[in-house]
Amino acid sequence: MADDEQDPKEYRWETGYEKTWYAIKEDEDGLVEGLVAEFAQKAARKSVAPRKGPVRLGMMRHLLVAIDCSEAMNSPDLKPIRFLCTLKLLEKFVEEFFDQNPLSQLGLIAMKNKRAEKVTELSGNVRKHIKAVQSLSNLALTGEPSLQNTLELAGRILRPLPGHASRELLVLFASLTTCDPGDIIPTIQTLKTDGIRCSVIGLAAEVRICKKLCQDTGGEYGVVLDDVHYRSLLLEHTSPPPRARALDAGLVKMGFPHTAPPSTQSDPGGNADPLITVCMCHLEEGEGVGGEGHLCPQCRSKYCSLPAQCRTCGLTLASAPHLARSYHHLFPVDPYEELNNEGQAQYCFACIRSFTDLDKQIYRCTRCQEYYCWECEGVISCTLHVCPGCASRPHLYQRLPDTR
């Protein structure tokens, strides 16, 4: 009860009666098109709210996603049912996660019949995770989930990881109950001590123990309203969160593999069969025999995809584009200045679309002084991560700290 008293946020049913229809007003022509555009702009600005102050981020993330596969996922409130809607959104989440976090690793856990089962190992193989998500569509949804067993399994997987990497757990929870073998409070405290950040997305209603889990470990808790809101909550976890605790800081040894050219020394005529090599990524599955791959520069083990951690020597393997794609998290685009459209500019600098009366607000870069529409401002902040006006001016594009 003490945690509830400290939380000043009220529930919707506890607040006063709101006459939301009064916010809908027609313009001089009797249309509401301008109002709809204004609502869309406000929603877009809310989704790309900038971080406040200097925040240390966990760039190398290790995220486990626990999927509720219990009987509660059969509910049709999310079409066609909760489970199929979750799998569809997870495919998009996996692609977006590795696009935003190319140096990170992801793993999947299934919760059903009071047990937690590992679906995929922690890895950076996008195709492997998407294939695993698609294979879950034929899974029988039975029994109750066990939140405690899921937390203990996640702790065993994330605890041995190196100290410089962030450890995260995301639970997609549809049930209103959890069947646990013991007291879950010590388990939550253990995760907090180990610096494992736990977040929960509820598909039914707010559950007290899930809220306490997120509060104690520094995670986020949200309950979906519909499939659009579900997608928004899920994609919020693609951006690197602040560090859950003071992680180890220091240099990280990394290797940059290369693809070795085929050897022709043994047979100059090229009539011999190529050497048979085994991919370490699929060694347990019995796949990955033959073909080209990325060779570890330290032990020469072969891997079919990057990034990865060498199973032979433990070296972190990555490529130069992976490091470059992580750059925008460290130096994000400066927030644009929001202005009332009073004819300062005739068109958007990015899409060259002429500003109309529907563009109540326009946005200006504080560095290059160019103006943008709200659609382009959202794309630049969320996807492009580079200001077109600054990129066209080399003296502005050098985004290093000013030492003067």
pLDDT of residue 16: 63
pLDDT of residue 404: 41
C-alpha closest to that of 69 among 81, 53, 57: 81
pLDDT of residue 102: 85
Give 10: exposed, middle or buried? Use CB within 10 Å, 0-12, 13-18, 19+: exposed
Q: What does the alpha-carbon distance between residue 337 and residue 366 come to, in Å, rounded to a whole number?
A: 7
How far from each other are the two terminal CA atoms of the chain, in whole angstroms? 53
Please, what is the angle between helix 208-217 and helix 185-193, to 10°?
20
pTM (global) more than 0.85: no
pLDDT in tens for each of the 404 residues of the chain?
444 445 555 666 666 666 666 667 776 676 676 666 666 666 666 655 554 444 555 678 899 999 999 999 999 999 899 999 999 999 999 999 998 888 888 999 999 999 999 999 988 888 889 999 999 999 999 999 999 999 999 999 999 887 777 899 999 999 999 999 999 999 999 999 998 999 999 999 999 999 999 999 999 999 999 999 999 999 999 988 776 455 555 677 888 887 755 554 445 555 555 566 777 776 655 555 566 788 899 998 888 878 777 888 888 888 888 777 777 766 778 888 989 998 889 999 999 999 988 788 899 999 899 999 988 988 888 778 889 998 888 777 655 444 44
pLDDT of residue 308: 79
Residue 196 near residue 168, CB atoms below 8 Å: yes
pLDDT of residue 401: 46
